[in-house]
Chain A
């Protein structure tokens, strides 16, 4: 399921255990718009993945704590810990591979 977080607490709840793909995006970014469709595609393909979407400009503390410098940036988290990172727009198959390998 894809969830755009509404609070830091929600982010914590969604990411503190298990696997979660976190995407930092900006409303002003073309590749982020495209990535939103790719993530929908990923969501349909995989069996209920946890995909968390974070507004880069709104959650600056999260951005800084994960040292995210640009958008879109995708972090693969496992039990809250970053295990892989992708920067820029990626194709569906690369994202699925990252989630499956986590």
Chain B
């Protein structure tokens, strides 16, 4: 700790990977040094620091035996969570699905017939982990699955059983998409916030117990979605912060090294200022929020919220194959060549500001049709209270370029299922789908018109946030869960899986951050000797690969972070304007007080020891903190 100036707080934190590696070494060392038997095992609660509903049970047996572990349900055996592990003499067993703040009964049964029961304390849920408001389903339908949700508002990732009990959570905000990798681990956005409004440094592969196996840092950061290819490499949505647009690139990441192998650039495929949705901006013109690889056609589908369009490109050449959306506002030559024409006698609606596009095994296209604005021209925009969101499935014929709507769920619920942002659909089989509407918001009992639900205030009694996840099989609702907040996506998974449920050894931080873009112009200012005001709450948090400057600043002030030494200076402008309001897909990183600002500066691009200063309007303050760039 270094408190050079009392009014500036300095904190040095290790990467979670480093902390978890340390913790794992500690409990493995304790296990090696002790005599932990089947009757008296070593029990480590929350072994990786971020999942209070996980534990590790460690013991030795003289003979090689299988061990089956069962976390007993609180009320009955339908809520039991059980898994059998392969033969071993040294048993290191992750226990998943504990109840919070509860002495859980955990049965261990060996293949030699011995059986014992240990009591394992479930930890406290983090304050932002949410409780289910109501759930409708059956234990037979859900079997050993939990419904996992990833945070969008003031919440944390959670996993809920068929009774609605929380059986899994993470105390850090791993954001956006959550998919199970082929090895059984989860792939999700990193917990490390990087840039306004929600970009994370990259993606993480984590075990269900919460251990980060790998963090893949990316120069252009990560947003919204990722996809694991057959060879294990990862497709990740990203961007280039050195240009003036965002959320318009896709990267292929080497699974072993974290290197960026290839970039697909959406810019250049078609004009950026056509077919605009109501949320379009010059900066965030496409807003790519989903990627899907289709092996049958060796193609990539990408969802562009701000042009109301799903595009499909050839994987090898990157060339456009088709575009799915309302053709109004698009150049005729593009419409003629790439757009579909609706056919059939059934109901048909185009999708607007959609999310989570996917290609079914039959070649159909599904997505969550948020329906935000539900028109291309302003005069035709729908009020949110009159609007609807839905899961939709379209049959497309890429030779005749025709499209037919073959299924939808949600329109009939009107504003009560309406999410103007986020959400997803899942395809399980023909006729069996999930539709997750995680961004519902009401003001005074009606769909919020002026505030995106991410900005509703949970403390305001006139504001209500809601996330509704529904599963439908042959048009029968088999599952419905309501949670009173916002969740980006839902994913149904069992806690244990067919892969290796235990990963021991050092987690790794791979890839690289980018050099943080600097601002060329330095405003005039007078360097003052006075210490920064306590009101500004200046805090500097240093990590291995970056540091973060935090502070509270009145809106409309001029703010610039300056790194200085005798030889050089590096300067970073920080905006103090209000938050962008049209595309706050993940508000989880937002401070409750929107005057609380932060800027992350990577330790790349230069080296030396630098003093951290900042310009506030016409004064330059010295924080007294120095940062060493390697």
Measured CB to CB, the residues of A under 8 A from B are 28-31, 33-34, 37-38, 41, 87-94
Contact = CB atoms under 8 A, between A and B. Distances in A.
Given A87-B282, A91-B519, A94-B244, A30 B575 contact: yes
B556 A30 contact: yes
A93 B520 contact: yes
Interface in B268-304: 281-283
B536 interface: no
A24 to B, nearest CB: 15
A34 B558 contact: yes
A65 B577 CA distance: 25
A41 B521 CA distance: 7
A87 B555 CA distance: 18
Given A31-B575, A91-B519, A37 B244 contact: no
Contacts of A88: 283
A45 B519 CA distance: 16
Given A34-B558, A87-B282, A29 B577 contact: yes
Given A30-B556, A33-B556, A41-B520, 4 more contacts: A34-B560, A89-B573, A91-B521, A94-B244
Contacts of A93: 520
Contacts of B521: 34, 37-38, 41, 91-92
B524 A89 contact: no
Nearest to A29: B556
Interface string B375-415: 00000000000000000000000000000000000000000
Given A87-B282, A89-B575, A30 B519 contact: no
Contacts of B201: none
B96 to A, nearest CB: 46
A33 B523 CA distance: 9
Interface in B517-533: 519-524
A94 B575 CA distance: 18
A34 B523 contact: yes
Contacts of A92: 520-521
A88 B284 CA distance: 13
11 contacts: A28-B556, A29-B577, A30-B556, A30-B576, A30-B577, A31-B577, A33-B523, A33-B558, A33-B617, A41-B520, A91-B521
Contacts of A31: 575, 577
A34 B520 CA distance: 11
B79 interface: no
B558 to A, nearest CB: 4
Interface residue SS majority, chain A = helix
Contacts of A28: 555-556
Interface of B: 244, 281-283, 519-524, 555-560, 573, 575-577, 617
Which interface residue of A29, A30, A91 has the most chain B CB atoms within 10 A? A30
Contacts of B558: 30, 33-34
A5 B84 CA distance: 78
Nearest to A86: B282
A53 B524 CA distance: 19
Contacts of B282: 87
B555 A30 contact: yes
A30 B523 CA distance: 12
A93 B517 CA distance: 14
A22 B278 CA distance: 26
Which interface residue of B244, B281, B520, B558 has the most chain A CB atoms within 10 A? B558
A89 B575 CA distance: 9
Contacts of A38: 520-521
A31 B559 CA distance: 9
B573 A34 contact: yes
A91 to B, nearest CB: 5
Given A30-B556, A30-B575, A91 B520 contact: yes
A73 B400 CA distance: 45
A93 B519 CA distance: 11
Contacts of A94: 244
B450 to A, nearest CB: 16
A94 B520 CA distance: 11
A29 B523 CA distance: 15
Contacts of A87: 281-283
Q: Which 9 A-B pairs have the closest CB atoms?
A: A33-B558, A30-B576, A37-B523, A28-B556, A38-B521, A41-B521, A30-B556, A92-B520, A37-B521
Nearest to B523: A37
Nearest to A71: B577
A30 B519 CA distance: 15
A34 B572 CA distance: 12
Given A30-B558, A89-B573, A37 B524 contact: yes
Contacts of B573: 34, 89
Contacts of B281: 87
B520 A30 contact: no
A1 to B, nearest CB: 18
Which interface residue of B521, B524, B557 has the most chain A CB atoms within 10 A? B521
A33 B559 CA distance: 10
A46 to B, nearest CB: 14
A29 B578 CA distance: 10
Nearest to A93: B520
B283 A30 contact: no
Contacts of B617: 33
A30 B559 contact: yes
Contacts of A90: 244
A38 B519 CA distance: 10
Contacts of B519: 34, 91
A37 B520 CA distance: 11
A65 B116 CA distance: 80
A56 to B, nearest CB: 13
B360 to A, nearest CB: 40
Nearest to A70: B577
A89 B244 CA distance: 11
Nearest to A33: B558
B488 to A, nearest CB: 26
Contacts of B244: 90, 94
A41 B573 CA distance: 16
Which interface residue of B555, B559, B575, B577 has the most chain A CB atoms within 10 A? B577
A38 B577 CA distance: 18
Nearest to A27: B556
A90 B283 CA distance: 12
Nearest to B525: A37
Contacts of A37: 521-524
Contacts of B560: 34
A92 B297 CA distance: 45
